[in-house]
């Protein structure tokens, strides 16, 4: 009878490990660590409430401490490109910007870019604009606040 909690924790450990291996998405590895700790605890004490407490605490600590580190390596941060440097800069419209007609060009730092209006409103040639965002090779601009 004393071995039943140990078997339950072992079965849970195996199930959580199988679920993690099947998904490889850091979904249940935290619970596998908690089940392992509870299994070791069940060998030391027969009190099921202590085992459950150890399971919850170890799972929560593992989740809180290890997950941010693991996500950093599994989902690396987006590396900015040189094109991202134009965001927030000002330029001059060289061809009327019209989102409906898909026309528009802007000069930023001596380079010509395809331009679209951030708000959808037409922007006439010669207007000073600020780059709000970039999608592919198109800059989304809005008239500069002066």
Name every residue whose Cβ is closer than 8 Å to that of residue 23 and which is 6 or more positions away in sequence: none
Q: What domain range is 43 assigned to?
A: 4-74
Domain termination residue (choose one: 74, 94, 111): 74
Whose CA is closest to 145, among 129, 125, 121, 132?
129
The verdict on 93 and 135 lying in the same domain is yes
Q: State mean pLDDT over 85-90.
A: 88
Give just the sign of the alpha carbon dihedral 84, 88, 89, 93: positive
pLDDT per position as a tens digit, 88-119: 999 999 999 998 888 999 999 888 999 999 99
The verdict on 57 and 114 lying in the same domain is no
Q: Count how many domains the chain has.
A: 2
The verdict on 88 and 112 lying in the same domain is yes
Classify residue 55 by burial, with Cβ atoms within 10 Å: 0-12, 13-18, 19+. buried
- Looking up residue 124, the CATH number of its domain turns out to be 2.40.50.140
Q: Supply the pTM of this predicted model.
A: 0.50
The verdict on 112 and 51 lying in the same domain is no
Q: Quick check: helix, strand or coil at residue 79?
A: coil
pLDDT of residue 129 exceeding 60:
yes
pLDDT per position as a tens digit, 36-70: 999 999 999 889 999 999 999 999 999 898 877 77
């Amino acid at each position: 009878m004393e071995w039943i909690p140990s078997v339950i924790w072992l079965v849970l450990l195996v199930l959580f490990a199988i679920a993690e291996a099947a998904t490889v998405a850091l979904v249940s590895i935290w619970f596998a660590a908690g089940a392992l700790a509870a299994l070791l605890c069940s060998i030391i004490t027969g009190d099921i409430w202590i085992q459950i407490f150890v399971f919850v605490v170890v799972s929560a600590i593992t989740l809180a401490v290890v997950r941010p580190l693991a996500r950093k390596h599994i989902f690396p941060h987006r590396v900015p490109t040189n094109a991202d440097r134009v965001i927030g800069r000002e330029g001059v419209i060289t061809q009327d910007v019209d989102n409906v007609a898909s026309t528009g060009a802007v000069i930023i730092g001596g380079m010509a870019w395809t331009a679209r209006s951030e708000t959808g409103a037409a922007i006439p040639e010669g207007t000073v604009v600020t780059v709000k965002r970039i999608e592919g090779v198109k800059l989304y601009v809005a008239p500069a606040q002066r």
